[in-house]
Amino acid sequence: MQNVIIRAAEEGGHAPENPLGFVPVEFALSLVVFGILLFAIRKFVVPRFEQTFAERTAAIEGGLSAAETKQAEADAKLAELEKQLADARHEAARIREEAREQGAQIVAEMREQAQAESSRIVEHGKTQIEAERQQAVTSLRAEVGALATTLAGRIVGESLDDEARQSRVVERFLADLESDGSTRLSSTGTGSGVN
């Protein structure tokens, strides 16, 4: 037993329908509903999606270009720093070289100065020694003269207190000594020391 078919009033009762049959109401309604949906989607949905997509694309592209700029900047900075570093190394090498030259120069100067100083000191020493020797010779001459005079006076018993005579005797004595050589002088000196 099949349905008791109660068709809607506008269609009226009928036998089982053909599944391929054309139902104008459904056809029209489908178009209307689809049309309304299409309108709504076109108006409210698609623009927002497209806007979001466009914004996102722009953001990504912007981000990429920003990153590229940053990269380029970083590269430039790196190159600059490397150049600076190379310059600094160069400078350091130059300064070191200069210092070395200066050091060598200073050492040479110092050496020269020291040499001069030492030779000056030696010279000075020699001069002093010579002066002292002269002084000693002079004082010896006086002393030895006095000693010899005293000695001779004692031996001879003759006073040699007279100034002129005394110096004449000493002069003569010394002249004898000098002609005999300096050894005699020193022995005389020694002799007087013993006395």
Partner 1 sequence: MTTMFGITMAESGGEFSPPGPNSFDFGAVPLFTVGEYAVTKPVVQLLLGALVVFVFFYAATRRASMVPGRMQFAGEAAYGMVRNSIARDIIGSHDYRKFVPYLVTLFFFLLVNNAFASIPLIQFPTFSRASMAYALAALSWVVYNAVGIRKHGFVGYLKLQSVPSGVTPLMYPLLVPLEFFSNILVRPVTLALRLFANMFAGHLLLILFSTGGLFLIEYGGIGYIAGPLAWVLAIAISFLELLVQFLQAYVFTLLNAMYISGPLADEH
Please say which residue, 61 or 97, places its beta carbon nearer to partner 1: 61
C-beta of residue 178 within 8 angstroms of C-beta of residue 140: no
Q: Nearest approach, Cβ of 67 to partner 1 (angstroms)?
A: 17
Min. distance of Cβ 71 from partner 1 in angstroms? Answer: 23
* Shortest distance, position 89 Cβ to partner 1, whole Å: 48
Nearer to partner 1, 48 or 195 (CB): 48
> With respect to partner 1, which residue has the nearer C-beta, 56 or 90?
56
Taking the complex as a whole, how short is the minimal distance between the CB of residue 19 and partner 1, in angstroms? 4
> Quick one: which of 186, 181, 187 has its CA closest to 133?
186
Q: Which is nearer to partner 1, 30 or 190 (CB)?
A: 30
Q: Which tokens sit at 130?
A: 């010579």
SS (H, E, C) the chain: CCCCCCCCCCCCCCCCCCCCCCCHHHHHHHHHHHHHHHHHHHHHHHHHHHHHHHHHHHHHHHHHHHHHHHHHHHHHHHHHHHHHHHHHHHHHHHHHHHHHHHHHHHHHHHHHHHHHHHHHHHHHHHHHHHHHHHHHHHHHHHHHHHHHHHHHHHHHCCCCCCHHHHHHHHHHHHHHHHHHCHHHHHHHHHHHHHC
9 vs 164 by CB, closer to partner 1 = 9
Q: Which residues of this protein are in contact with partner 1, per CB under 8 A?
A: 1-11, 16-31, 33-34, 36-38, 40-42, 44-46, 48-52, 55-56, 59
CB of residue 65 to partner 1, shortest distance in Å: 17
